[in-house]
Amino acid sequence: MVDKVLGWIRSLTEVGLALVALGVVLQIIFGAAVPFLGIDMIGSVVDLVKQLGAEGLVGLVAIWVLWGIYSKHE
């Protein structure tokens, strides 16, 4: 049961990452005004990186933990 739930979570994470990547590519191709996105994907990613970078060691640990969680299933 737990393995099935973890599999769903991993699948949803992969779909989410693919959607973020698609949003970034579409915004690069079509510019900031992508009508069906509704949000600034590149700006959101840049803001996330800035926020993690401003936290110093805590930001690095957070990135390390997220990377560990994501790469564990591969």
The CA radius of gyration of the chain, in Å to the nearest whole number, is 15
Report which of 24, 64, 25 is spatially closest to residue 45, judged by C-alpha positions.
24
Please give the single-letter amino acid code of residue 21.
A
The per-residue pLDDT for 73 is: 56
| pLDDT tens sequence for the chain (74 residues) | 888 888 888 888 888 888 888 888 888 888 777 777 778 888 887 887 788 777 777 777 777 777 776 676 55
The per-residue pLDDT for 72 is: 63
